[in-house]
Chain A
Amino acid sequence: MTATRDSYKAKDITVLEGLEAVRRRPGMYIGTTGPRGLHHLIWEVVDNSVDEAMAGHCSKIKVTLREDGGVEVIDDGRGIPVDRHAKTKKSALTTVLTTLHAGGKFEQGAYSVSGGLHGVGVSVVNALSMRLEAEVRRDGYLYSQEFKDGRPKSKDPKRLQAVKKSGTTIRFWPSTETFTDTTEFDYEIVASRLRETAFLNRGLEITLLDDRGEEPRSDIFHYKGGLVDFVNHLNANRDPLHAHIIDISDQSDDAELEVALQWTTSYTESVLSFANNINTHEGGTHEEGFRKALTKSINEFARKKNLLKEKDNNLTGEDVREGLTAIISVRVKDPQFEGQTKTKLGNTEIRSYVEKALNRLLPEWLEKYSPEARQIVEKCINASKAREAARKARELTRRKSGLESGGLPDKLADCSSRDPAESEIFIVEGKSAAGPAKAARNSETQAILPIRGKILNVEKARLAKALQNNEVQDIITAMGTGIGDDFDISKARYHKVVLLADADVDGAHIRTLLMTLLFRHMRPLIEYGYVYVAQPPLYRVKVGSSVYYLKDEEELDEFRKDHPKVKPTRFKGLGEMNAGELWDTTMNPETRTLLRVEMADTVLAEEVFQKLMGDDVPSRKLFIQQNADDVRFLDI
């Protein structure tokens, strides 16, 4: 690196160091270097175009996944300025692409609100791309500049032919050095995120084109209804409880608020919040304000209409939100993001703003659509009754046993370490597998929790009912984090939750059930990257005196090429392996392969869980019909 640095002028060195830092520690800027980080590159570029749209200068964005592995993003905004920047003495375009924390969003003026979550912008994309081309249509001309590994090929953008329309085009090819896992973009993930963006920006038209396959795929996302369309989309596989979607918007000097909500007959709560188009997974002040106002408004309405009698307790937040689908979107001038993944809105003034606005507007809606509001309240009261009944039942069973310890589940074989960062919990299918796992584990850092049979599908069950289920209870108490509103990631007793199910189809089913539990009630575990899938081998083959373990059919076929005569033994379950085998193949940190579960897009995940685990049979049937050919192995 030093050799190249010499050829640069002194003032350029800081710039190079900036992007160099991104290349060295990409995780700090884009989270991971896996699929999630890779897709982040697209978001970063698209967000810039969306900012133009929010400022009212852009109405169309086109994203193309190119055949050669690159991505092209075209917008019809004003175009990134190309004139010389006073501070860096370089063209503004070059500055934006090569300097961290450069852009028109740090001073107010050019943009009043923007999704400046990352603040590092498109320069990070440049740093992590082996090639990047920028084209700007501005002031009547087309300008173009190319970059290689973050460095501009020419000092300034070249002015080319005259053009009429303005806009920006960015083409980039992700660096294979950074993204070692994969540089292949996933159409579904990109589509889901772009759809989301189109929902949040009413009227903005986003086109997605995939040129990679044999047949090009494309989608156009353009929603005149904004958040209402979003709620409709999310509830496509559910039965809405009432016909009208509550649609509320408000503006103040410093912030804008849009909320859309609808209750469904399901038991799960899907509240998604956004601040300046950024999905705030971890919630934050806007969500808190929303929850408070919602609980208060529903309770007041229920009291007023005498649906809740004087002696009845107030409905809790969880009662009120059962089966609720809601989108909260705020635009804030100076957003502050907190939390480990920087997806929690921290602006305290937003809490009271959202709360006040909704305390005024929600009761208005409830009055106006009184019959529907009554249905909603009745559902909430049912939820409350169910919760109350479940609590009583639970207390009863506890009192019966007479030794309510409040401690850990009996079945858990805990590890001796008290440091969550090094502790792992293996959730193991069945007692037969728990035996070898317990014998094999490193008892200092590895805990084993056997679960019996198939756990409850929490997607279809009311929370109260789910909590009565022993296996569910055990998993929750073993984790120590609590669930739902009370979830506290800092109390997690393990930073690795390893799902270890048999390598058969029932194991696959158990895995989906467990992930549903984690997704629905302990989602931060997934967001923080604490959830892993173990990969026990499917076959054992003996060649002479040496033994090989193969994890799937593919490896077996590969192996057979070299050893055509081998007779593999198929493991029917983990219980068939002895402790040593299990340790070597799946549990020993030195030799195992654990897959970390990542969630690139919450909305997409939400849809998948609804489709696969929810109540709507036709959509699941369709999924099975369409994907029947992708089956990895059939257990016959």
Chain B
Amino acid sequence: MTDEHTTTESFPEIEITKEMEASFIDYAMSVIVSRALPDVRDGLKPVQRRIIYSMFENNINPTSAHRKCSKVV
């Protein structure tokens, strides 16, 4: 069903359901493992922990001067 007159390139086929399932499981598992679930130790999601940590590194704490959040991000 290919266009014979375009190129002589050959195209391995991939079944749509396989591609969907494979791509989906990659995404879903990654989200579950490293994005969506809070850690039981501190109750933070990885993104939140990254922010808190970088604030800590930059010496931003309740006693320090006021900072805008864009500084942190």
Residues of chain A at the chain B interface (Cβ within 8 Å): 27, 31-32, 34-36, 181, 186, 188-189, 340-341, 421-422, 495, 505-506, 508-509, 511-512, 515, 519, 526, 528-529, 532-533, 589, 593-600, 604-605, 608-609, 612, 623-624, 627-628, 630-636
Contacts and interface: CB of A to CB of B under 8 A. Distances in A.
Given A589-B7, A624-B32, A35 B21 contact: no
A605 B13 contact: no
A340 B1 contact: yes
Interface of B: 1-3, 5-7, 9, 11-34
Contact of A508 (B9, B11, B27, B32): B27
B20 A596 contact: no
A27 B17 CA distance: 22
Given A341-B1, A595-B14, A598-B13, A515 B30 contact: no
B2 A635 contact: no
A446 to B, nearest CB: 12
B1 A631 contact: no
Contacts of A612: 20-21, 24
A272 to B, nearest CB: 16
5 contacts: A421-B3, A528-B1, A593-B12, A596-B11, A634-B29
Contacts of B23: 508-509, 511-512
A182 to B, nearest CB: 9
Contacts of B3: 421-422, 495
A422 B3 CA distance: 9
B24 A597 contact: no
B45 to A, nearest CB: 13
Contact of A636 (B6, B11, B13, B33): B33
A511 B24 CA distance: 9
Contacts of A528: 1
A274 to B, nearest CB: 20
A529 B12 CA distance: 12
A222 B1 CA distance: 34
Given A526-B16, A636-B30, A594 B25 contact: no
Contacts, number: 126
A533 B14 contact: yes
Instruction: In the A-B complex, list the 3 residue pairs whose CB atoms are closest, starting with the nearest.
Output: A34-B13, A508-B23, A596-B11
Contacts of B29: 624, 628, 631, 634
Nearest to B3: A421
Contact of A505 (B1, B16, B20, B26): B26
Contacts of A632: 22, 25-26
Nearest to B23: A508
B13 A36 contact: yes
A422 B6 contact: yes
A529 B2 contact: yes
A529 B6 CA distance: 14
Given A627-B25, A631-B25, A598 B20 contact: no
A630 B12 CA distance: 21
Contact of A181 (B5, B12, B18, B21): B12
Nearest to A590: B9
* Max count, chain A CB within 10 A of own CB: residue among B6, B14, B23: B23
Contacts of B15: 35-36, 186, 189, 598-600
Nearest to B46: A636
A221 B22 CA distance: 27
A595 B17 contact: no
A78 B58 CA distance: 84
B12 A595 contact: yes
Given A515-B19, A608-B20, A634 B30 contact: yes
A634 B33 contact: yes
Contacts of B30: 505, 631, 634-636
Given A32-B1, A508-B27, A594 B11 contact: yes
Contacts of B5: 421
A632 B30 CA distance: 10
A32 B27 CA distance: 30
A531 to B, nearest CB: 8
Contacts of A624: 25, 28-29, 32
A35 B31 CA distance: 31
A495 B3 CA distance: 8
A46 B30 CA distance: 41
Contacts of B32: 624
